[in-house]
Amino acid sequence: MSRGARERVIMHVDMDAFFASVEQRVNPSLRGRPIVVCGGGKRTVVAAASYEARPYGIRSGMSLYEALKKCPDLLVVQAEIPTYVDASVRVLKILQEFTPEVEVYSIDEAFLDVTGSLVLFRGVQEIARVIKEQIKRELGLTCSIGVAPNKLLAKLASGMNKPNGLRIIRQEEISSLLMDLPVEEMWGIGPRLATYLHEMGITTCGQLGNIPCGILARRFGLIGTMLYHMAKGIDESSVTPLGAAPDARSMGHSMTLDQDICGKEEIARYVLLLAEMVGRRLRSGGYAGRTVVLTLRYSDFCTFSRRMTVKRYITTGPQIYEMAMRILDGIRLRDAVRLVGVSLANMVKGRVQIPLFEGERKGEELVLAMDRVNDRYGEFTLTWGLLLGGRKGRVVPPSWRPRGGDFMDAIS
DNA sequence: TCTGGGGTCCTAGGACCC
DNA sequence: TCTGGGGTCCTAGGACCC
């Protein structure tokens, strides 16, 4: 352990089965029963599964179809995103009572740097206990907390004792803990990397950490260097509080259609809707961008994107639509399409200022902050869907044709 | 009548300029 | 009479995360 810098105390707070738990809280008849929370539409996946559903093998990300095969008695609840955002904000406010150094990582996860708060409490265990107690008292929800000298290990720790767990990883136990830890359990090592490592005969972090950094770097590039440090439990990244979060780099929306479509005219209708959704969000955040990306997914799930960059920054739905259509014109479709996506990249903030009222701006900041941290499962798509007149975002009025300024009338 | 939606970062290759 | 080479910008795709 280095004596130079003070050892940090980082906490990772992870809400247990968040969406499902909120639903069970709101509706007592769901308590104690296997439930899943899903999006709308036919082709949906499980956004969250209650702990009662998990013994059936039901996991988030699984298609609803598959989940129902595993448990025919499963209760399926449609996601109510505003409710979860509300709960998330209340949790966030509780966390901020303990330190200003709170990084909202997602709608149900946060990192806290409590190094400076330790003097106010009888140790980190006490902080964790009080946080859990307060969340339970005020929201009726449980969370799992991990504590460690950095974010990487705090994240690992919070997952070790779920649900309603508390796990503290001390500096002196790091190497023995990582020795036999399977590489795929480390945050940042996904299925593909794990497979590559397995092929190299590496299955544990202990083994990974014994490979010279240079070899990993040659094999995996920058990722290789990261792997080497991860295997040793090294992570210098800091907790970035809400106000210091970097500007978004890209912004987009996509939708999987209830039924595959073939014609470009029909695709164009979705492109228009998506472009307008992106444009509105863009402007509300004060962003502008130069690159439009059109993403399509064929029936066979083969997904590809084409992009176009222009010199000047654009901000409006019609501008995005126009570029997306130029891209679409250049594509020769080989199959029916199941997903259409439009996003904007090469973004800057502040070129276009949209004046907002104080109250409105506050709400906007919150939305953007939540948004920034890669909210799970596209809840803002649903939010936008609601904004677009109470319909789900996927609904495009069949009679509508892309043309000019009556767009808002057509969809609201 | 399988397989969502929102992001981030990295890489490799090509065009183009000096 | 041999195929430089660095830098920038752009594109497309892949891997990862929640």
pLDDT tens digits, one per residue of A158-185? 999 999 999 999 999 999 999 999 999 9
Bases on strand C under 7 Å from any protein CB: 9-18
Which nucleotide comes closest to A40 if you measure CA to C1'? B4
Which nucleotide comes closest to A105 if you measure CA to C1'? C18
pLDDT-based confidence at residue A368 (cuts at 50, 70, 90): very low
pLDDT-based confidence at residue A3 (cuts at 50, 70, 90): low
Residue A191, CB, strand C, below 7 Å: yes
A109 is catalytic: yes
CA of A202 to C1' of B11 (A): 24
Name the residue closest to B11, CA to C1': A221
Bases on strand B under 7 Å from any protein CB: 1-12
CA of A313 to C1' of C9 (A): 16
In this predicted structure, the answer to whether residue A8 has a pLDDT above a threshold of 70 is yes
Which nucleotide comes closest to A344 if you measure CA to C1'? B7
CA of A301 to C1' of B4 (A): 13
How close are the terminal C-alpha atoms of chain A, in Å? 60
Mean pLDDT of A43-70: 95
In this predicted structure, the answer to whether residue A392 has a pLDDT above a threshold of 50 is no
CA of A309 to C1' of B17 (A): 19
CA of A278 to C1' of B5 (A): 14
Considering A23, A101, A103, A109, which one is annotated as catalytic?
A: A109
Q: What are the two backbone dihedrals, phi and then psi, of residue A104, each rounded to the nearest 5 degrees?
A: -80, 110
Mean pLDDT of A18-46: 95
Q: For residue A166, what are its two tokens?
A: 């508390």
Residue A290, CB, strand C, below 7 Å: yes
Residue A28, CB, strand C, below 7 Å: no
Residue A312, CB, strand C, below 7 Å: no
For residues A60 and A44, the answer to whether their CB atoms sit within 8 Å is no
In this predicted structure, the answer to whether residue A383 has a pLDDT above a threshold of 80 is no
Q: pLDDT tens digit string along A217-234?
A: 999 999 999 999 999 999
Q: For residue A404, what are its two tokens?
A: 């000019």
Q: How far apart are CA A124 and CA A213, in angstroms?
A: 34
Q: Cα–Cα distances in Å, from A238 out to A8, A20, A152, A223?
A: 10, 31, 11, 19
CA of A381 to C1' of B13 (A): 34
pLDDT at A314: 95
- A11 sits in which H/E element: strand A10-15
pLDDT at A176: 98
In this predicted structure, the answer to whether residue A371 has a pLDDT above a threshold of 60 is no
Mean pLDDT of A11-31: 97
How far from the centroid of its chain's Cα atoms is residue A128's Cα?
24
Of A120 and A353, more confident: A120
pLDDT at A389: 34
pLDDT at A211: 96
pLDDT at A351: 62
A82: amino acid identity, one letter: P
Q: How far apart are CA A48 and CA A75, in angstroms?
A: 12
pTM of the model: 0.86
- Strand C contacts in A 207-246 (CB under 7 A): none
For residues A102 and A74, the answer to whether their CB atoms sit within 8 Å is no
CA of A220 to C1' of C7 (A): 25
Q: What's the residue count for chain A?
A: 412
Helix (H, G, I), strand (E, B) or coil at A48: strand
Query: Is the Cα dihedral A98, A122, A113, A181 positive or negative?
Result: negative
Spatial CB neighbours of A305, under 8 Å, sequence gap ≥ 6:
A293, A294, A295, A296, A341
Percent of chain A with pLDDT over 90: 82
Residue A399, CB, strand C, below 7 Å: no
Mean pLDDT of A369-380: 37
Q: How far apart are CA A100 and CA A91, in angstroms?
A: 14
Q: For residue A301, what are its two tokens?
A: 């799930």
Name the residue closest to C10, CA to C1': A309
Q: pLDDT tens digit string along A303-348?
A: 999 999 999 999 999 999 999 999 999 999 999 999 999 999 999 9
Footprint of strand B, using CB within 7 A? Answer: A 39, 41-45, 47, 60-61, 63, 65-66, 221-223, 246, 248-256, 281, 300-301, 338-339, 341, 343, 371, 374-378, 380-381, 384, 394
